[in-house]
Structure 1
Amino acid sequence: MEKQTNKRVTSRKDKKFMNPLLESGPDPYIYKHVDGTYYFTTTLADHIAIWKSSSITGLSRAEKKIIWSPPEEAPYSDNIWAPELHYIQGKWFIYFTANDGGGDETRRIYVLENSSANPMLGEWHFKSAVNTELPGLDGTVLQHQNQLFFIYSGYGYFPDYGSALYIAKMDNPWTLKGENVLISAPTNEWEKQGGMAINEGPITLKRNGKIFLIFSASATWSDDYCLGMLTALETANLLIPDSWLKHPEPVFLKNVKNRVFSPGHNSFTQSPDGKEDWILYHAFSFSENEGDHRLGKLRNPRVQKFNWNPDGTPNFGTPLPAYTPMDKPSGEI
């Protein structure tokens, strides 16, 4: 009888995990491939690496490989931020932000390409800078209705210094064509915390006939760094600003009780069985009054399940406390 009890206890523990997934991992991005494999990237500042895992919560045990380091003294040799891995037209692409070590005016989004079936194998080739009209960061690709759209955070001209979100059509995975259309500027107070007016880190989520564009707002070192949301109908012309409706309040923000500060720069994935939706984001476990949030390496990646409201919009809930057992995603072994 005692042995049976121990087995049940072990089984329950096996179905739990705790955040954070890694002790450091700013700007986390996760991608679930068609074969069920999860790939993960994060800001490492001077190189780009990929983690490969059979599960969402197994990141700390996952295979990791450095796939690219920049040449010295290139325009993209410094401040390598926010890589994203995309599978487009049968090839792998990584979009990342970098500059030459100078100011924001030198910051651009660049592309790496790999034609191997496995992104951990083959050669990653530097392709080019994306030809955005503005310097900027945090580029992402939306594949929609057999078209490619590029969305990024561009440095523009606003009453408060900062960045805004732009969208453009793509001629191919590294080239934009046509106007870069402004779809969201930081005009609300919750988008201006920490001394800067910021919209950055765009990521898309398609469901229920709508496209949800989730973005990070305010300065990343502020406790009030948070997630905002734009919504467009799948049938809308995405290059028309009025197609995008901004939610009036943040959709995911700090929780002092749970000791979660500055939650943002997220991505999305699904459980192995496809039955659950999960959000991956970075956050601090201490406030800006208790430590230096400008040390970005102290941001760590966390995941949690989210649900859907009756009107078909996502409900991300409240950031959950770190180092607390949680149920693993459905279908994880």
Structure 2
Amino acid sequence: MNPKSLVVPLFYGLLLSACAFSCVGTSQQQAEESKAATEKTFTNPIADGADPWVIRKDGYYYTCGSGRGGIYVSKSKKLTEPGERVVVWKAPESGWNRSNVWAPELHFFGGKWYIYYAAAKKPGGPFIFQRSGVLESVSDDPFGPYTDRGMLYTGDNLQDTATVKWAIDLTPLELNGRLYAIWSGWEENAPTDKTKQHLYIARMQNPWTISSNRVKISSPVELWETGGELDLNEGPQVLKHKDRVFIVYSTRESWLKEYRLGQLALTDTLQDPMQAKNWIKSGPVFQGTDQVFGVGHCSFAKSPDGTEDWIIYHAKKSTKPGWERDIRLQPYTWKADGSPDFGVPVPTGVPVKVPSGEEDL
């Protein structure tokens, strides 16, 4: 056979193969581009506000916040689109909790909802009268009505409740069948709000009663926690993953762009959380960039289908000192040692894929 007679068939064979490969590649690229074009996204921020709290129950996300002298709750099936804010409690006209209502959190225990919050007996600053309290729903409806269960004891002498100490950002921890309260407080009450803040823990008898004296588990002592106008630890949030327990908290000054997140990790879930030595500190685990400023005071939620983890947090609207803030969220992952990897804050206006399972809601 003449070798030249093989050239044409071989040429066309190679051409067809190349065409087939190119067509497959083009088809895949078009499919990916089409998917990207139809992929639902959102951009940060999702709302104005600060100290965001989100909890998911029975297919709905409930957010909780403060404003206009009271506490609101909203309901939505979408993490990226909080529902209408409904005021569920108004501060009384007199008493220890008539003013400065801060950072409420909504929790569900034993068929009822509880809202933990901070408030004061006098409006405005200096903010030296902040104490922590709790509201209890009369039914399983998160929109209330709520009964005021009073001030929680956050001091060093449980036998003398008048010795309660300055306390904000209280959050509960359930561990090994026991309930604990964790919050940010002062070592002693003081005449100035330029006072160092620490993290404390105490045992709880039930969701509305602290049953032990407090124990300090963290102070702002690391280089990344200090160096500004005021050293503080605040906004503690419990984060559990498999066999790990973390407290993710805010540090540095809330009114400055350096505000950031630190982390305490319980050495072993069988260890006593009331022992400070059993908590290992690391950080910063999440901090601002030249595009997103002063990130802090977070909460956590799963995507609607339960496959993704999301952090909800606030950031400053500018680098100018102050408390003008907005609410943001983004997914995060986990490191090989089981600790969270929050990455870096997503800049304003950059598209982020909506949480998995939210696409068809």
Same fold (TM over 0.5): yes
- What is the aligned counterpart of 1:147 among 167, 174, 178? 178
Matched, 1:27 2:51: yes
Partner of 2:95: 74
Secondary structure of 2:67's aligned partner: coil
Partner of 1:235: 270
Code of the aligned partner of 1:274: G
Secondary structure of 2:287's aligned partner: coil
Larger Cα-atom Rg: 2
Matched, 1:196 2:196: no
What per-residue deviation string (whole Å, max 9, x for no partner) do you get for residues 24-59 of structure 1?
Answer: 1110000011x1210001232611101101010121
In the TM superposition, what is the alpha-carbon distance from 1:164 to its structure 2 partner? Answer: 0.3
Query: Is the CA contact 1:285–1:322 (under 8 Å) kept in the aligned structure 2?
Result: no
Secondary structure of 1:190's aligned partner: helix
| 1:171-250 alignment runs, 5 A limit | 171-232=205-266, 233-247=268-282, 249-250=283-284
In the TM superposition, what is the alpha-carbon distance from 1:73 to its structure 2 partner? Answer: 2.9
Code of the aligned partner of 2:42: F
Structure 2, unmatched stretches of 5+, are 1-29, 156-164
What per-residue deviation string (whole Å, max 9, x for no partner) do you get for residues 140-198 of structure 1?
Answer: 0011222111000011269x831100000101111111220100001123212540010
- What is the aligned counterpart of 1:261 among 293, 315, 321? 293
- What is the aligned counterpart of 1:88 among 91, 109, 122? 109
| Residues 1:9 and 1:284: Cα distance change in structure 2 (over 3 Å) | farther
Secondary structure of 2:232's aligned partner: strand
In the TM superposition, what is the alpha-carbon distance from 1:18 to its structure 2 partner? Answer: 1.0
Q: How far apart, in 1, do the equivalents of 2:204 and 2:97 lie?
A: 22
Partner of 1:57: 80
Following TM superposition, the consecutive aligned residue runs of length 4 or more in structure 1 with deviations greater than 6 angstroms are 8-11
Q: How far apart, in 1, do the equivalents of 2:151 and 2:274 lie?
A: 22
Query: Is the CA contact 1:194–1:222 (under 8 Å) kept in the aligned structure 2?
Result: no
In the TM superposition, what is the alpha-carbon distance from 1:208 to its structure 2 partner? Answer: 3.0
The two structures have a TM-score, normalised by structure 1, of 0.89
What is the aligned residue count?
Answer: 312
- What is the aligned counterpart of 2:41 among 16, 22, 31? 16
In the TM superposition, what is the alpha-carbon distance from 1:236 to its structure 2 partner? Answer: 1.1
| Residues 1:162 and 1:30: Cα distance change in structure 2 (over 3 Å) | same
| Residues 1:45 and 1:316: Cα distance change in structure 2 (over 3 Å) | farther
What per-residue deviation string (whole Å, max 9, x for no partner) do you get for residues 196-240 of structure 1?
Answer: 010000001111311110000011011110000000021111111
Identity of aligned residues (%): 37
The two structures have a TM-score, normalised by structure 2, of 0.82
Q: How far apart, in 2, do the equivalents of 1:263 and 1:64 lie?
A: 23
Structure 1, unmatched stretches of 5+, are none
What per-residue deviation string (whole Å, max 9, x for no partner) do you get for residues 86-123 of structure 1?
Answer: 00121100001110226444210111110322212x41
Code of the aligned partner of 1:137: I
Query: Is the CA contact 2:154–2:213 (under 8 Å) kept in the aligned structure 1?
Result: no
Q: How far apart, in 2, do the equivalents of 1:30 and 1:14 lie?
A: 25
Query: Is the CA contact 2:186–2:196 (under 8 Å) kept in the aligned structure 1?
Result: yes
Instruction: Point out the more displaced range, 209-218 or 13-22.
Output: 13-22
Aligned CA-pair RMSD: 2.0
Instruction: Point out the more displaced range, 124-133 or 186-195.
Output: 186-195
Q: How far apart, in 2, do the equivalents of 1:208 and 1:14 lie?
A: 31
